[in-house]
Amino acid sequence: VLPILQILYHAPDNTSHHIYMSLIILLILSEDDSFNRNIHEI
């Protein structure tokens, strides 16, 4: 997850393709209940 967040944090340095793919991956992961539970435990 951290590399994806770094891509979004440094968005002006990356292409729009990387930004869109990162957002899609986060959206897919956010649909998973176990992922959400693990993220909230951190």
Q: For 11-21, write each residue's pLDDT tens digit.
A: 888 789 989 99
* Assigned domain for 20 exists: yes
Alpha carbon distance 10, 22 (integer Å): 12
Q: How many structural domains is the chain composed of?
A: 1
Q: Is residue 37 part of a domain?
A: no
Decide: pTM greater than 0.95: no
- Rounded CA gap, 20 and 25, in Å? 9
- Whether 7 is covered by a domain: the verdict is yes
Mean of all residue pLDDT scores within the chain: 91
Residue 39, Cβ neighbours under 10 Å: how many?
A: 12
